[in-house]
Every structure is written in structure tokens, then in C-alpha cells.
Structure 1
């Protein structure tokens, strides 16, 4: 399946019309989230790097033209104006890992109108999904309060690609590892995994299973202890670890039940056996809400493995995002639809320490002490620098979270910062609105 044809049909019909009408002048589109989902005090910008990879290799080939023609039930010759169309525009974007808020552009594309239109759908799919998952994972990091987190989401994500992205995004915000072997080896993320209940069930009993696993894996091991009776499983695991001299680096994993109570009892059993350095790992339908509750209750859990609810951003699986034309051929434009009004012109976001961000016109002077968030990351269809690294994004994330007010970091009932509009952008918006309203009346 071609990345070029991974688009909505109306992108193709519009691009064809633009070409026919000779509308090839530069257009700027702004991609932003209208409103934050419930219980979100911020979003983590993510998905930019894969988006730049896509734009770098975007080119309409003969097979793409055939597929477009087939979808439109028209001869391929009718779609030939699209053949060879590539992306040679400019992209300004918020780097991955930065925190963003409602109304702030994650990315702005400036390119000949047909090009900028055709790439809309793919950019939305990348940035929206990855920003939603990264934001969910980031809240888990905050809830864990310094305890390691591991991504266990692959088997429940919406396909292998989504699982790969979830592993990458977890690492971006500080997860310690992933169960996803492909992501671990491709991205240099530590791989983490134990055993399934089926492994225990395949043996006559838990002790035989634990000993068999230890024989195969001579280093530190983690035993899953809740297949039958959890406290009994912990006791058996403690005995096997003690007899084999396998304390340091080893762990037990709890995957069901009252994780807080079971962790306390498990800790007591391990400590009584002299295994104070054996860790407790918890998994099983965990997300930031469950992790926050366990941490606040003082549960002696050393590592949290989060999966389903984080990998699909279960409580906020989509973003109310838009990709809107804000300027064409040097003319600022805007949408006036009820409840979906947009601001005209290419934009910049200025971040001020301890104060709300300012959304302004892209080339206006920043407020005193403010930092512009959007950077030029692509010019002439090529990256302006090397691909960003996960460690770079992680550093930005850590710095932004540290500077975020505690009220916006809360797991329950966060209060997001609401950006303000610069005077210059407000004045331009008023002028463009009047112009459109006058055109409508005449």
C-alpha cells in the first residue's frame, strides 16, 4: 500500500482541481488541536519525525495515478497532471517532546497548494495518534513519580505500526523499556519481558515452571506468580530464587487482583526469605490513574508495566485536530463557521516562563523573555538538519514538564494553561473577518 494513496479522496479531487485552475501559488496550512481532551492538562508534541520522513520521500508515481483513477472511476490519463508531484515546501513545527496546548500549531506547511493539500491526511494521522499516545504515556511517567515504566502494549494496539509507535513514544517520555522486540532492536530501547500464564500452566506446577525457566535463562529472571494463588506463587518463587542464589536483579510479577495488597504481602514474603533486593513488577490494565492510586497508597511496587490503556490512549483515543488553510498566495484567509472559527496567517507560539503562551504571527517580535516554539525543520522539501533523536526529545519533555505548573500536571482535574493571542494576530484576524464579511454581502 502506497503512502501517497493513503489519503482521503477529497484531497485528490481538490488537488486535481487546483492543477486544472492553475492554482499553484504557495499555501500555508496550520495543524492544531482545537481543545484538549478531558482530564488533560497538556499535550506532548509527537509524530513529527515520521511525518518529515514521509514528506521527504513523497512523490506521486504511475501506480499511485492508477489507484487514484480507479477510485474516481476515471481514465488514468485524466489523473496524469498529478504524476511526478513531490513535496518541495517548507515545514515549521514544534519539536517532539515539547508540551503544547489548545489552539497552538503543532506544524505548519507552506508549499504549492496542490502539494500542501495532498499531504494533509497523512500528517493528521501521524501527529494526532502519536500526540495522543505520547500524552497518555507522559501522564503515566508523572504518576509513577520516578519509578520505572515498561511498555507492554503491542498485543492490544490497533495494529503493529501503532504498537511500534507506542513503544517509541513511551521511550520519548521516559519509559525504561518495551516488550516490543522490533521496536527495541530498531530504536535501541531496552527489551523487557517475562513469561505468560500459559508457560506456568504447561508445567505440572509453579515450582517446575520456575526452575525450568531459570535453567534456560541463567541471568536475572522474573517469575509470574499469580497463575493460581498469588501468595503461594510468591512463596514458591522465593524458595526457588533462594536455592538457586538468584537474588540481585530478579523480580516477581503481579498481573491481577488487588495489586497494592498483594504487593505488600509479596514484599513481606520476599523480605522474610532474605530477598530484599528482588523487585516487584506490577502489570494488568494499568494506566496513570491506577499507577497514581498505587503510588499514593505507598504500594511497594518497583516497576510498572503499562499496556492496553496507554497504547490506545483509552480515555482520550483521538484529538479534535484540524489542518486549516491560513494563507494562500500571500492573502491571509480564515474560516468563520460557527464554533470552528480559525485565525488567519502563518503563526508562531511564544513560550513565557511561568505564564501562558502567546500565539502570534510567525514573523512578529517575541514578547520579552519569550521563546519561539516552532522551528523551520524542512525547506525546499529537505530537512534542515539531522533527524531528531529520542534523547533530544526526552530532554525537551523533561524540561517542559519541570516548568509546568503543578495544577496542569495533576492526574485528576488538571488545569491546562490557555494561550493568549498577540495584539498583531488579533488585529489581523479582525481585518480579515471584515474583508470576508464585506465580500459575502456583495
Structure 2
């Protein structure tokens, strides 16, 4: 019989995190380690990423503990030493976290966060941290591109039904709102995060009535002050004419039709024809909403073509980041017991030491980032990573979502336009500090010399 999941997230990890932890414990490898979370390279056609997911990481670390049911399950596997499970029963996260605040822009190789803690604690946290930050950073970045493409037109998240699970659906709604969407169709996300909720109707609603006009009238009667009619179930232009008729009926009762939605067909041509029908009926205030397989590419095409669309419902392609559905994100050991560490694997090399990112500006626009060792000073640069957790406790309440939204808007304003483009022609400059570059060279030289075959000079 399948056991129900509890609130504990301690087992939301990969097996090898636990087997490594037992081996660390058995061999007394218990020192302080620093792990760095970063994206090795940006996906194709991405000029930037938007940091997101920190709130969930900090809540997870504060609550990390193995409940009796967790330990019973681990014992049942026959893999683990009972004494190690006793150790896990007392384990709590006691370390510190430095992180880029949510809503700020980051680039390849830059640490989004760094965790310093006894190595078992830091190691066990890896899977959950990547899971949350990878998804939310990926989606926030995709959604930000949609906002840029819309050029001021409204956007609503319609993605819930096709996101990769319910947790993903909630996080998608949050990330969309963070970067500028007006609302979401996800009602639970609305309650949980304080996001405005929005929605219209499905084609099934129209089809359930004897006629399209009766369906429109019924919905307008139920929601006279927030009525948006879906007009493409049968014939879009005829649907627009019927919507205009219902709009005039609403006006006679002291209400106004809020909008019409087109969910299929040639959205450019249909939106022009629908706009003409509404305007001829004196309904210039009725908004046109477009949806149906949209993401930033289709939105940009419609906007640049002058489509008279006031807002877009954006769903599947954005909710799963269809053109870039994963990030090459890594969580790597960069220091142990005061000793900097790096990985030399081909294509997966890492940079050593605890780090800081300094951002330089010209005329209030981002100019370049310098990736440095944390103790370095770059007087002209703005440090991006902040100390957000110490001794296993968050140092301050997490900012409300509206504050993160404002932070992103200000951050995006300072990103030069070439990097905002959907197909950027250049990469934002990120360079290593002299000290970090020297440390990387020295460690690489030392490690390479240690790996020479016997007899090689």
C-alpha cells in the first residue's frame, strides 16, 4: 500500500546524497564545506536569467529534519547503518547562505547562491535547491521575455493545466507575476501568493447552451461587471457580432462588457476584423484578449504587426519553457575546511572558492560583471550576493511578491536593450577578477601535476 506523503521534505533528495552522507559520517569527513549554485551556460537565444526560487530554498533549509516515518523508511531499505539513522534523527541545517535576491538578473557562471555548512548538511540540500531554483529561474526568465515582447500589453498566466505537476503550476504563477504578468488563472496561486486571478470561459461552456447567444447572455447575467466572452467556438466574426449585441444589452442595464477572447485561427487578421466590428458598434472600450499556444515569439510577431490585441493569455509554452525546458545548473563544491576546490571535468569545470559578483554600470545601465572571490573588494562594483541565512535561520523575512516585482522592473530597466532581445546578438560581459583567475590557474596546475602518469616529468 502506498504511504501518503507527509509535510517532511527530507527524503525529497537523490539516494546518492544519503549514501555519501553515511560515508562522510563513517569516515569522519564532517568539516565545513561551501557549495556554489550556478548555470554553466545560458540556453540558446537567452541573453539573461532572472534569479528566482530563494524563498522556497530558505524555508526548506529552516525546516530540514528527518521525521520518524522518514527514518523508518530508510531503515526498511536495508541500505543504511542504524547508527547513521540515529545521527540523521538529530540533523538540522546550521549553515549560512549567500544569495542573489529574487528578481535580479544573472548570467552564466555567476553564483545564484552559495551554501556554507557542515558537508553533510550542505550535500543533502543539493537536490532540493537545484529542483526549486532551476525551475523558477527558468520560468521567470521565459516569462520576462514574454513581458518584453508584449511591449506594455497585459499578460495573464494560463499555464496550470499543462505545467509539469501542481507544484510547478504554483511556482509558474508566482514567477510570472514576479516579472510583470498581470494575473493568473490559478486560483490557489492567487490565494497563496496574493496574485490577481483572471479567467474567461471554456468552449465547453458555449457548447452546453442551445446557442452561442444564449451562452453569452447567461454568462453576462452571472458576471455583468467582469464578463469576457470567448468568441471563436463556431465562427469568430459571428461570435464578435453576438458579443457586441450582448455588450449593448449590458449597457442598457448599466454595465459594460469587459472583453472578448480569440483562442484560435489567424490572430492578426481576426483581431483586426473583430476590432472593426466592435468599433462600428461603438464599443471601443471592449478589450481583445488573444490566447492559444502563445509565447514570446508569437507575441512579438503580433505586436510588431500592429495587431489590435490588448492582452494575451499565455499558457503551455511559457509554463514549460518549451524552447528551453531546462537549465545547465550545477551545485558544486568550491571549498572545504578553508581549502578552495574546483572540478576539472571536460565541459563541466567549476571555479574555486567562495565568490561574489560585482556589477558595474555606465549611465545607470549594466556594463559588465566581475566574478571575484568573496573577500575581494571591487570599489566601483555593486555586490549582488547577500548574506540571507546564518546558523540555519533566515536573517530577515522574505520580501513580499510585490516588492520582488518592483525589484525586477527596476533591474530590467537597467539591462541594455541588446541583451533583452529575443535573439540576442551578443553575450553580456562577465569576467573573472585577477585574484580568482590566478587561484584557478594555480589549482589547475597543482591538480594536473598530481595526475601525471608515473615516470612523466
Same fold (TM > 0.5): yes
Aligning the two structures, in what range does the TM-score lie when normalised by the shorter sequence? over 0.9
Q: Confirm or deny that 1:12 pairs with 2:18.
A: yes
Paired residue for 2:406? 395
Structure 1 spans left out of the alignment, 5+ residues? none
Paired residue for 1:361? 373
Matched-pair contact (CA < 8 Å) for 1:40–1:416: no
TM superposition shift of 1:84: 1.6
Q: Confirm or deny that 1:325 pairs with 2:336.
A: no
C-alpha distance 47-72 of structure 1, shift in aligned 2 (>3 A) = farther
Rounded Cα–Cα distance in structure 2 between residues aligned with 1:314 and 1:171: 19
- Report the more deviating stretch, 238-247 or 336-345: 238-247
Paired residue for 1:111? 117
Q: Confirm or deny that 1:51 pairs with 2:51.
A: no
Q: Confirm or deny that 1:241 pairs with 2:247.
A: yes
- Report the more deviating stretch, 142-151 or 245-254: 245-254
Paired residue for 1:340? 348
Q: Secondary structure at the match of 1:324?
A: strand
Rounded Cα–Cα distance in structure 1 between residues aligned with 2:313 and 2:195: 15
String of CA shifts for 1:196-232, please: whole Å, max 9, x gaps: 0000000111100001111111313100000000000
Paired residue for 1:151? 157
With normalisation by structure 1, the TM-score equals: 0.97
Paired residue for 2:448? 437
Paired residue for 1:299? 307
Matched-pair contact (CA < 8 Å) for 1:132–1:317: yes
Q: Secondary structure at the match of 1:352?
A: strand
Matched-pair contact (CA < 8 Å) for 2:224–2:250: no
Q: Confirm or deny that 1:94 pairs with 2:106.
A: no
Matched-pair contact (CA < 8 Å) for 1:61–1:84: no
Q: Confirm or deny that 1:285 pairs with 2:293.
A: yes
Matched-pair contact (CA < 8 Å) for 2:32–2:119: yes
Rounded Cα–Cα distance in structure 1 between residues aligned with 2:389 and 2:150: 36
C-alpha distance 260-109 of structure 1, shift in aligned 2 (>3 A) = same
1:124 aligned to which of 105, 130, 139: 130
Q: Secondary structure at the match of 1:363?
A: coil
Matched-pair contact (CA < 8 Å) for 2:96–2:391: yes
Rounded Cα–Cα distance in structure 2 between residues aligned with 1:431 and 1:4: 38
- Report the more deviating stretch, 72-81 or 265-274: 72-81
TM superposition shift of 1:433: 1.8
2:182 aligned to which of 161, 169, 176: 176
Q: Confirm or deny that 1:420 pairs with 2:431.
A: yes
C-alpha distance 249-211 of structure 1, shift in aligned 2 (>3 A) = closer
Q: Confirm or deny that 1:39 pairs with 2:45.
A: yes
C-alpha distance 350-71 of structure 1, shift in aligned 2 (>3 A) = farther
C-alpha distance 75-346 of structure 1, shift in aligned 2 (>3 A) = closer
Q: Secondary structure at the match of 1:81?
A: helix
Rounded Cα–Cα distance in structure 2 between residues aligned with 1:67 and 1:389: 37
TM superposition shift of 1:414: 4.6
String of CA shifts for 1:407-426, please: whole Å, max 9, x gaps: 11111245331310000101
Matched-pair contact (CA < 8 Å) for 2:343–2:350: yes
TM superposition shift of 1:337: 1.1
Rounded Cα–Cα distance in structure 1 between residues aligned with 2:75 and 2:139: 35
Rounded Cα–Cα distance in structure 1 between residues aligned with 2:372 and 2:76: 43
Equivalenced residues, count: 441
Paired residue for 2:279? 271
Paired residue for 1:136? 142
Rounded Cα–Cα distance in structure 1 between residues aligned with 2:94 and 2:81: 28
Matched-pair contact (CA < 8 Å) for 1:128–1:321: yes
String of CA shifts for 1:303-346, please: whole Å, max 9, x gaps: 11100001111111100011000000001111111121111101
With normalisation by structure 2, the TM-score equals: 0.94
Matched-pair contact (CA < 8 Å) for 2:185–2:199: yes
Q: Secondary structure at the match of 1:355?
A: strand
Q: Confirm or deny that 1:196 pairs with 2:211.
A: no
Q: Which runs of 4+ in 1 moved over 6 A?
A: none
String of CA shifts for 1:273-306, please: whole Å, max 9, x gaps: 0000000000110100010000000000001110
Q: Secondary structure at the match of 2:288?
A: strand
Rounded Cα–Cα distance in structure 2 between residues aligned with 1:93 and 1:203: 54
Matched-pair contact (CA < 8 Å) for 2:57–2:129: yes
Paired residue for 1:220? 226
